[in-house]
Structure 1
Amino acid sequence: MTSATMAVVERHIQDESLAKYLEPHFGYPSRTRPCVNDPGSCDYLDNVYWMHDVSMLYSYIMWGVILGILAVWAMLRLINPSRRASVPKAELETQATAYPRGAYYRAWRSVAATRQRYLLPESFASIFGRVTRIQVLILAIMSGYLLVFSLVAIVYKTYITPVKGTNLLNTRTGMGGFSDRIGILAYALTPLSVLLSSRESILSVVTGISYQHFNFLHRWVGRIIFVQSFLHTLVWTIVEGKLYQPQPSVYRTFIAQPYIIWGCFAMLFITFLYVFSLRRVIQWTGYEFFKKSHYIVASLYIGACWGHWDKLYFWMLASLIVVLLDLGIRILGIGLNHIGYTKSGSIGFTPAPAALRAFGTGPDTVIRIDFSHPSPAWKPGQHFYLCFPALSIWQSHPFTPSSLSPAAGTTPHHTYIVRALSGETTRLATLACEIEGATTPVILTGPYGARVALETPNLLAVAGGTGISFALPLVIEAAGSEKHKAGLVQLVWVVRGARDLAWVKEEMGVLRARAAEGRVEVKVFVTREAGPMEGEVEEDGVVVVEAKVGEKLEAVVDVKDENTKTEVSVLDLALAEESRGFSVTYLGGAHPDLSAVVQDYIERSPASGGRIQVMASGPAGIGSTLRSVVAKCNDGGKVGRGEEKSDVGLYWDDRFL
């Protein structure tokens, strides 16, 4: 017998030498038959083994439900009525008339609009953060399931049994069966938690949802596992340290067993994972420490769980396979992106040489990163992880290309707009500011994230600050697409200052030309300026001689701390000059009313464009506002009657930009 088996045999007062046969129980030591203990102990053992078998069944049912939900989800994606399937071929070619919809399409969209209305807003933000009601609902259903199945089929009965050779009595209850139940469920949840955190996500392939949107459930499933582990440890500590006799010898024997030592390590690791994943602790220790330590300690936790109860090793093996696959595919992706012919003609590892350009100073500093490199094609809305080995080989950050994927046969050009916040991005900004025309090697992996599908010609893209990286390629692609002629394509960009438009000067020039053709509308809201002005302004140690937009003058920027001067053409600021389809609104310290923006767009969007899709990225506050606004715009009843303007979708790119 293994040490774990021996420990359980002794704990369950079973003697295999007196057994005529062993009754197998999957995931548990075999039961000795017949039972030769006192009647109370035999009855207790019958209940313990029955509760274990039911616990294993419940864990299988849980995974059956999970796999069933995923199967239904995949099937619904297949039968989702697409726009092309709903429109007659002749009308697809002309795009000249309003699109008729069948009853099936209207019913489908009516359900979708109703779901958006009631499940898109945020709830209990003080507890769960800025997440939609549907995510909170999923968590509530999962928690309710686990609570119910942790408490049902537990034998709530107490047995007072004698201890052989003494006049002491053991107290045996259903606590042991309950503790084992939550332990088994914690083991069964571990592969799910790992799947929810995987960047190379199988769940994304099945559901079409980008991996980062599973982070909320990953965090809370991990917390549920922590609570289950804590209760499992606490209950067995009470049983072995109080209810079993004689004490303290029983507890000393119990705690010294190898499988219990492994269990203590597992509890230590899961506690570390919980504490160091709290938002406040992450702020204290830094995100990079959190990410690296989380990965290492999670792997140690899986190993410790395997050592604690190897009869349930398959749950840990599944978790380990997912971890290794995620890591292996990631390493393979880096190799495929960067291993090739070098300038010398030999095979080697070649980072991409990126050009850096800094805009602004202090907390307003933004870096534009440009490089061309043979990498996989990407779709608008997808992102890459960038590593800057000249700064650190241990860090990589997700950034969305603000450039479109190139045509086949051409080398992709990557452009990224990055705000310098702290850590590596601050060092990157320092490098860009200190050296004019600075370059740095870049290692990239990706692309990641599900493609953002533009299923309707009516597109409203909302960006806050560097969220323009997400919105810009969507709008440029839609503005040049024939299928969006029948709808309204509009970009709303909220920036701190008019000079921020220089981040994407070339791209804004393209959109201005498209706007002049009537293919797109661009609305820029400047929150920290009251309007173009003349004169000398001093801010944060920087003296700026400004000119009105359109005037052919020069602004001299005198950075006092460095005693250097850089001449900047005011023609760059001409990006903020209004023209057909291109407007700039100065709010002088206020923020735009996004509710009014969305309502105005809905009223002006053509009925022939069908339903409305809002795509957005930026500060979390914009996401919260848009969820509430878009939810109110949805009306399933009206959609069922063919009023597609009451069917408004929202995709919020909630990565950290």
Structure 2
Amino acid sequence: MMDENLRPRHIQDHSSAQNLIPHWGYSSRVWPCQNDPGSCEYLDAVYWMHDVSMLYSFILWAVVGGILFVWVLCRLVEPQSNQTKSLKDMQGQTNRGNPQGTVYRAYRFTTTALRRWLLPESLRSVFGRVSRLQLLVLVTLAGYLLIFSLVGIVYKKWVTPIKNSNKFNTRTGLGGFSDRVGVLAYALTPFTILLANRESVLSLLTGIPYHHFNFLHRWTGRIIFIQSFLHTLGWTIIEAKLYQPQPKVYRDFIRQQYMIFGVVAMFFVTFLYIFSTRWAIRMTGYEFFRKSHYVIALLYIACCWGHWTRLACWMIASLGLFFIDRGVRLLRTCLIHHGLKDGKKGLGFKAADANIQTFTDSDGATVVRLDFTHNHDPWAIGQHFYLCFPALTIWQSHPFTPASVPAAHPASPQHTYIIRGLRGETARLSALGQAGEKQTPVIITGPYGKRALNDRIPNLVAIAGGTGISFTLPVVTAALKSPKAQGAIEFVWIIRRTQDLEWILPELLELKSIATASQNTSLRIKIFITRDAEKSFSKPSSLSTSIKDLEKEVKNEDGIEIATTGTDLTALLSQCDGSTRFYVEWLTDHHPAMPAIIDGFIDRVPEGRIQVVASGPSGMGTDLRRAIAERSRADKVWKGDERWDMDLYWDDRMG
């Protein structure tokens, strides 16, 4: 049966209908039409436009599914080089003999050409620091929605008489257009939820870490807001202006239950739009944005369900994706932390106990180093965890990348995190360390993301800015330990002050010994210090910032001694001139140029593809994207010189 609240709009009498023709997602059509010719022609147009809207919403998901299928297929059948000799056996030779197959060279030629055009950033003032590839995906989606919002609309006007009155109703294609954008907004809602999921199906299919979908999530949400606004505006014009008599028609219309749900849904989506803007997040804080976003999004979905129950399938799918994501998060956390509690007193939920070290430089900036061991499966290099600190609050967790390489099973992985104290939770964590606390409990969830180290690419350059070292340090360490390592490895770290070297001093000493132990090693280390002059640290008394007070033995609750190695910066900074494989440069007042770093590495390697992994401030990511795009030469790659085929893995989640 037709809802009573739709009868005035569609001027149909279902009680006396001879036949009812069902229409998916809409009320059944009375047939034959019993109204005046103009009204019958209008009803023909309305139902035809609705059926077309349903078709377009299904096509939208068919296109999304098709793109994902092609993406997965390309990942499965990616051509590989036929080259069998190692780079060590071919040292001093070039690859101009083209041992690769034609299909492989054509594939690499295409990807290099696309990288040259799609990797740089555009329209940064509007979209922020995102690549042209993400903009292309957004433009394609927006173009589809724009075209199919306008195509299939009957652009005609019907002026029909009102029974027992001298007034007329004006009926147009505006109703069909308003319903069209509303239908597409409903169909887009599950996709928007899917883009925001941390336990992401999209990541499993595409290999792209979930946080790279945040840009599309934000903009699809804004598109839904625009569609909702147009839907609301269209029907407001129709019911408050085009239908007569007024104001009775509009008053009866707005009082209906489904319209009340629609008005509240419009309020909620407006709230989501306003409070997800940058200025609103700065004003209210990220945690308010995050928690309010979850709650209001659920209320919006519920009101959409109440507004138009015949399309509840899209809202049910959205709610399912939302709760599955949260449920899997909770399950993973419980599995990681379920074990022996308080020694051998039984099983239960057990947080990890992290050792805290706090470093404060001459600028007053504070960095916290956390170290702990916890029994769970090892993670892939480049993946990250969400950390919650119960001593501060149980309602917040933040993503951090371990700066350590996990031990192989059955050994328990060692977690090391380098976290900059900024605002909110990280500021409270640094204050905890500065107050003298030596340990704090940690609850971890994860891992998330994908493996950053590609064993198929022989040459590696890892570039870190500040606490981005958490991401690049384990990549370099794993590359050195990999039996598949063949090419050159370069490790670049850009920091503000010399004291910042203390964050990972034991690890740097180990890498330095590897780099300088043999002239045949593939590793080179370059450290750039941007706010200190070398002469400021010429004396051992000022150069040597001792961390011997960190030299201690800590017993964990299983009675195992954990020793931290004490040393000082003098040992690290000795023999660090340009003639060695360990190079430190004090720049005093500027940053190194990313193009110069990339050019130097290209000149160093004899042949083979290059992978660039990097993490740091967003400006560094912009410079790297531009530098790599400018140096992606498809013509040289086709001829076999694969040094100009560079993959960039950029991670901007700073600890």
> What's the TM-score bracket when you normalise by the shorter of the two chains?
over 0.9
Q: Distance in 1 between matches of 2:501 and 2:385?
A: 23
Q: Which moved more, 1:293-302 or 1:466-475?
A: 293-302
Tell me the distance in 2 between the aligned counterparts of 1:51 and 1:226.
22
8 Å contact from structure 2 (residues 453, 479) kept in 1: no
Q: CA deviation at 1:153?
A: 0.8
Q: How does 1:461-480 map to 2 (within 5 A)?
A: 461-480=462-481
Q: Deviations over 1:263-311 (max 9, x none)?
A: 1111111111100100111011111111111111111111111111010
Q: Contact between 1:9 and 1:29, CA under 8 Å: does it hold in 2?
A: no
**Which residue in 1 is equivalent to 2:218?**
219
Name 2:494's counterpart in structure 1: 494
SS in 2 for 1:25: coil
| 2:17 corresponding residue in structure 1 | 19
The CA deviation string for residues 305-348 of structure 1, in whole angstroms up to 9 with x for no partner, is 11110100111111111101100100001100111121242111
Gaps of 5+ in 2: 550-564
1:14-72 superposed Cα distances (whole Å, 9 cap, x missing partner)? 10122101000000000011111110000000000000000000011111011000000
CA distance in 2, matches of 1:647, 1:585: 29
Match of 1:572 among 563, 569, 572: 569
Q: Does 1:622 align with 2:623?
A: no
Contact kept? 2:94, 2:641, Cα under 8 Å: no
Q: Which moved more, 1:633-642 or 1:229-238?
A: 633-642
> Which residue is 2:146 aligned to?
147
Q: Equivalent residue for 2:553?
A: none
SS of 2:47 mapped into structure 1? helix
Deviation at 1:534, TM superposition (A): 5.3
Question: For the structure 1 residues 188 and 623, does the alpha-carbon distance in structure 2 shift closer, same or farther, using more than 3 Å as the test?
Answer: same
Displacement of 1:103: 1.2
Provide the secondary structure at the position in 1 that maps to 2:22: strand
Aligned counterpart in structure 1 of residue 636 of structure 2, from 632, 635, 638: 638
Distance in 2, matches of 1:552 and 1:412, equals 30
Q: Secondary structure at the match of 2:534?
A: coil
User: 2:555 maps to which residue?
Assistant: none
Question: What is the alpha-carbon distance in structure 1 between the residues aligned to residue 548 and residue 33 of structure 2?
Answer: 94
SS at match of 2:381: coil
Measured against aligned partners, the alpha-carbon deviations of 1:94-136 in whole angstroms (never above 9, x if no partner) come to: 6767663111111111111001101000000000000000111
Hey, what's the Cα distance between the residues in 2 that align with 1:552 and 1:202? 48
2:527 is matched with: 524
| Distance (whole Å) between structure 2 residues aligned to residue 417 and residue 443 of structure 1 | 16
Matches within 5 A, 1:353-372: 353-360=353-360, 363-372=364-373
- The within-5 A match list for 1:67-146 is 67-82=65-80, 86-88=82-84, 91=86, 100-146=99-145
CA distance change for structure 1 residues 519 and 48 in 2, over 3 Å: closer, same or farther? same
Instruction: Give the match for residue 235 of structure 1.
Output: 234
Does residue 547 in structure 1 map to residue 541 in structure 2? Answer: yes
Q: Do residues 386 (structure 1) and 387 (structure 2) align?
A: yes
Shift of 1:519: 3.2
CA contact (8 A) 1:499 1:573 kept: no
Preserved contact between residue 468 and residue 654 of structure 2 (Cα < 8 Å) = no
Report how far residue 593 of structure 1 moved. 1.2
- In structure 2, how many angstroms separate the alpha carbons of the residues matched to 1:195 and 1:553? 49
Q: CA deviation at 1:547?
A: 3.0
Structure 1 residue 248 corresponds to structure 2 residue 247: yes
Aligned to 1:650: 648
Code of the residue aligned with 2:449 in structure 1: it is G
Does the CA-based 8 Å contact 1:547-1:570 persist in structure 2?
A: no
Q: Deviations over 1:157-182 (max 9, x none)?
A: 00001111111100000000000000
Identify if the C-alpha distance between structure 1 residues 95 and 269 changes in structure 2 by more than 3 Å, giving closer, same or farther.
farther
1:635 is displaced (CA, Å) by 1.1
Task: Describe the SS at the equivalent of 2:61.
Answer: helix
**Contact 1:25 1:31 survives alignment (8 Å):** yes
Q: 1:554, CA displacement in angstroms?
A: 10
Local SS of the residue matching 1:68 = helix
Indicate the SS of the match to 1:533.
helix
Match of 2:348 in 1: 348
Q: 2:5 aligns with which of 7, 17, 24?
A: 7
- Distance between the aligned counterparts of 2:502 and 2:414, measured in 1? 19
Read off the aligned partner of 1:416 and give its amino acid letter. Y
Shift of 1:570: 8.0
Counterpart of 2:552 in structure 1 is none
Distance 1:288 1:318 in 2: 26
Aligned counterparts, 1:59-458, within 5 A: 59-82=57-80, 86-88=82-84, 91=86, 100-342=99-341, 343-360=343-360, 363-435=364-436, 438-454=438-454, 455-458=456-459
2-structure distance, mates of 1:553, 1:355: 19
Alpha-carbon separation, structure 2, partners of 1:158 and 1:384: 58
The answer (yes or no) to whether the contact 1:527–1:588 under 8 Å persists in 2 is yes
SS in 2 for 1:112: helix
d(CA) in 2 for partners of 1:367 and 1:648? 34
In 2 relative to 1, CA 621–294 (structure 1 residues): closer, same or farther, beyond 3 Å? same
Which segment drifts farther, 453-462 or 222-231? 453-462
1:594-651 alpha-carbon deviations (Å, 9 max, x no partner): 11111111111121xx111111000000000000000001011211111111111111
* Preserved CA contact (<8 Å) 1:370 1:415: yes
Indicate if the aligned counterparts of 1:546 and 1:555 stay in contact, CA closer than 8 A: no
Pairwise CA distance, 1:146: 0.6
Instruction: Give the structure 1 partner of residue 559 of structure 2.
Output: none
CA contact (8 A) 2:253 2:259 kept: yes
Q: Deviations over 1:225-255 (max 9, x none)?
A: 0000000001100100110001111111110
Would the alpha carbon gap of residues 242 and 340 (structure 1) be closer, same or farther in structure 2, given more than 3 Å must change? same
Q: Deviations over 1:341-363 (max 9, x none)?
A: 21242111100001111001575
1:483 aligns to what SS in structure 2?
coil
1:394-417: CA deviation from partner (whole Å, max 9, x where unpaired): 000000000001111101110000
Amino acid at match of 1:349: F
Equivalents in 2 of 1:414, 1:408: separation in Å? 15
Cα shift readout 1:534-593 (whole Å, capped 9, x = no counterpart):
59xxxxxxxxx97364x799999xxxxxxxxxxx99823432334431110000011111
- AA matched with 2:391: A
Report SS of the residue matched to 1:482. Answer: coil
| In structure 1, C-alpha distance between the alignment counterparts of 2:274 and 2:247, rounded to whole Å | 32
Kindly, what percent of the aligned residue pairs are identical? Answer: 52
Cα offset for 1:433?
1.1
Distance in 2 (alpha carbons) for counterparts of 1:570 and 1:484: 30
Check 1:496–1:227 CA distance in 2 against 1; reply closer, same or farther (3 A cut): same
Normalising by structure 1, we get a TM-score of 0.92
In structure 2, distance between residues paired with 1:569 and 1:383: 28
- Aligned equivalents of 1:152 and 1:58: distance in 2? 10
Q: Counterparts of 2:546 and 2:495 in 1: how far apart (Å)?
A: 24
Distance 2:356 2:44 in 1: 71
What amino acid maps onto 2:328 in structure 1? I
Q: Distance in 2 between matches of 1:495 and 1:419?
A: 13
Measured after TM superposition, the shift of residue 480 of structure 1 is 2.2
